[in-house]
């Protein structure tokens, strides 16, 4: 393989400091190691939205916060599970906070050595950390390993992976760099290393060349704004793109985040959702639950028979506590704050009635979101496209006539049922929303449905507000607004126009 034929995309992650079952040992802000497993999952969700699938992921040490705790082994297994489920090959190496090298490598199966990807050789190097200050030194055996790899593969460009930073120097009393760093640099220059990747120094170090070797220290994933790096190698060319999970979001709410009351939830859980939303830069988080999940048991809720059987709705509303509705209201009302707002996601039933009991309509909700998940009279695989569109528009006219603030995932019904998105209805739907002062939601929860910038553009032209919604059913979705901001940009909505175009909650009188 010639140099010009080689290409490789590397996802580089540093310093998770995960602590779940293992006892934390004095971890202080800004580190958020307790969120690290979800942060790791969020990285791969972000890459999915970006349309990037790396050839290999490298995790550059300090996966756990307290490797001395026996429970750290189980925490490592949890991280291994998150990495392996992605389907992306991965390499890991121990840091100064992890289990001892032998046990760590036994867990992950990527000990020091050569790993080939895309015409490059990734070399995992295990340094030694000693003493209370974790002084780092590279043992002679690791120098010999690199030398032998280069001797056997003289034309193979190498990427060195280690925990401690190598270059440039760091002005600190703490010994971040190895004691024998000068010898390490010389070994790289003499043994075919084109790129050196490190972690350990949480602020990270921007990429820079030194004697034809590129050095990059990846900033910590566990500290705001939660960094990771994408490295693209094309022949001799190295490009490094630094990303953050937290975004500078406009002063608008996430209008649509589910709770543990959702039958369709996976890992969603309110307490960590709040912590994640705050960490990701969300300004206001709306806990917005499916009303039909609160009025009915799981089986009845998800078979949607209640849509055409009003007697089921009447029984639910007459039952003690309206099944789980009163319990949900008591729960979320205890959480209401300037940051946490309360909402419901509402569907239709019967002949276009809103599924909201009178007692619940009188409650002080911050946001009510109308949704069309099913359409009465539609049969998947049987109802023609044109008839489905008529039924959809019938229900939409009913829905926007009620006192709702936002229309959830406007055209997702079509994508979920294998139908074409009716772009010819964009103008009519936007007109209905405008006439009824209902915002259009931008929502990326369902992979099959992606908001169309053209619909957003038409909405903006008609003065329809745009509501940003994570529609989180999984913790990894909380605060993930990269695709939302990206589609707004494509629709011509820039930060300068956010004040005029984005939906905001009404401020309370107090």
CA distance 100 to 325: 50
Radius of gyration, CA atoms only, the chain: 26
How would you write 239-284 as a 3-class SS string? EEEEEECCCCCCCCEEEEECCCCCCCCCCCCHHHHHHHHHHHCCCE
CA distance 358 to 62: 54
pLDDT value, residue 99: 84
pLDDT value, residue 22: 67
Task: Give the residue carrying structure tokens 């867990």.
Answer: 107
CATH of 253-501, one of 3.90.1150.10, 3.20.20.140, 3.40.1280.10, 3.30.420.40: 3.20.20.140
The domains of the chain are located at 3-244, 253-501
> Is 18 in contact with 36 (CB distance < 8 Å)?
yes
pLDDT value, residue 510: 44
pLDDT value, residue 509: 44
DSSP conformation class of 423: G
Please list, in sequence order, all residues whose beta carbon lies within 8 angstroms of the beta carbon of residue 234, skipping any fewer than 6 positions away.
Answer: 6, 7
Torsion of CA 21, 26, 29, 30, to 10 degrees: -70
The segments of the chain whose pLDDT lies below 50 read 509-510
| Rounded (5°) CA angle 348-354-356 | 120
pTM of the model: 0.94
pLDDT value, residue 507: 66
pLDDT value, residue 268: 97
Which superfamily does CATH assign the domain made up of 3-244 to?
A: Metallo-dependent phosphatases (3.60.21.10)
In angstroms, what CA-CA distances link 289 with 85, 293, 328, 465? Answer: 28, 8, 9, 22
The tokens for 504 are 């905001």
DSSP conformation class of 306: G
DSSP conformation class of 176: -
CA distance 252 to 244: 20
Of 277, 233, 239, 244, which is closest to residue 258 (Cα–Cα)?
A: 277
Beta-bridge mates of residue 368 = 344
Query: Which sign, positive or negative, has the C-alpha torsion 91, 96, 97, 100?
Result: positive
Please list, in sequence order, all residues whose beta carbon lies within 8 angstroms of the beta carbon of residue 13, skipping any fewer than 6 positions away.
Answer: 40, 43, 57, 58, 59, 60, 199, 218, 221, 228, 229
H helix or E strand, kind and range, residue 286: strand 284-290
Question: Which is it for strands 353-354 and 406-407: parallel, antiparallel or unpaired?
Answer: unpaired
pLDDT value, residue 132: 85
pLDDT value, residue 437: 98
Identify the three-state secondary structure at position 136.
Answer: strand
Q: Which parts of 291-427 are beta strand (E)? A: 340-346, 348-349, 353-354, 367-370, 406-407
pLDDT value, residue 25: 61
pLDDT value, residue 267: 96
pLDDT value, residue 31: 85
H helix or E strand, kind and range, residue 415: helix 412-416
Count the Cβ atoms, other than its own, within 10 Å of residue 134: 17
Query: What does residue 158 show for φ and ψ, rounded to 5 degrees?
Result: -110, 145
């Amino acid at each position: 393989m010639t140099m010009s034929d080689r290409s490789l995309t590397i996802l580089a992650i540093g310093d998770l400091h995960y602590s779940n079952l293992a006892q934390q040992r004095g971890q202080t802000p800004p580190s958020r190691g307790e969120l690290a497993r979800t942060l790791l999952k969020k990285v791969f969700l972000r890459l999915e939205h970006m349309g990037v699938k790396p050839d290999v992921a490298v995790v550059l040490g300090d996966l756990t916060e307290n490797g001395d705790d026996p429970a750290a082994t189980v925490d490592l297994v949890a991280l291994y599970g998150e990495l392996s489920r992605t389907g992306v090959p991965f390499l890991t190496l121990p840091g100064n906070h992890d289990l001892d090298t032998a046990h760590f490598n036994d867990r992950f199966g990527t000990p020091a050595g050569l790993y080939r990807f895309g015409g490059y050789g990734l070399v995992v190097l295990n340094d030694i950390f000693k003493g209370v200050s974790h002084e780092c030194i590279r043992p002679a055996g690791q120098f010999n390993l690199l030398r032998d790899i280069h001797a056997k593969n003289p034309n193979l460009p190498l990427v060195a992976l280690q925990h401690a930073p190598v270059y440039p120097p760091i002005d600190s009393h703490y010994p971040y760099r190895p004691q024998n760093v000068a010898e390490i640099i010389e070994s790289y220059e003499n043994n075919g290393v084109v790129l050196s990747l490190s972690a350990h120094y949480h602020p990270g170090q921007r990429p820079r060349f030194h004697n034809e070797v590129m050095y990059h220290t990846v900033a910590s994933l566990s500290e705001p704004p939660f960094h990771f790096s994408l490295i693209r190698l094309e022949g001799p060319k190295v490009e490094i793109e630094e990303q953050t999970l937290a975004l500078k979001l406009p002063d608008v709410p996430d209008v649509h985040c589910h709770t543990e009351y959702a039958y369709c939830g996976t890992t969603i859980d309110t307490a960590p959702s709040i912590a994640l939303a705050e960490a990701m830069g969300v300004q206001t988080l709306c806990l917005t639950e499916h009303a039909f999940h609160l009025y009915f048991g799981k089986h009845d809720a998800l078979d949607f028979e209640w849509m055409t059987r009003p007697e089921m709705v009447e029984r639910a509303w007459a039952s003690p506590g309206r099944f789980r509705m009163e319990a949900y209201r008591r729960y979320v009302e205890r959480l209401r704050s300037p940051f946490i707002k309360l909402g419901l996601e509402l569907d239709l039933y019967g002949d276009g009635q809103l599924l909201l009991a009178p007692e619940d309509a009188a409650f002080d909700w911050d946001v009510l979101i109308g949704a069309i998940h099913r359409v009465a009279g539609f049969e998947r695989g049987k109802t023609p496209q044109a008839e489905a569109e008529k039924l959809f528009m019938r229900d939409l006219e009913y829905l926007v006539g009620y006192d709702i603030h936002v229309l959830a995932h406007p055209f997702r019904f079509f994508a979920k049922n294998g139908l074409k998105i009716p772009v010819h209805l964009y103008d009519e739907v936007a007109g209905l929303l405008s006439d009824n002062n209902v915002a259009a939601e931008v929502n990326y929860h369902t992979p099959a449905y992606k908001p169309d910038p053209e619909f957003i553009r038409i909405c903006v032209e008609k003065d329809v507000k745009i509501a940003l919604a994570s529609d989180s059913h999984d913790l990894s979705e909380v605060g993930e607004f990269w695709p939302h901001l990206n589609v707004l940009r494509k629709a011509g909505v820039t930060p300068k126009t956010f004040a005029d175009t984005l939906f905001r909650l009404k401020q309370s009188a107090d």
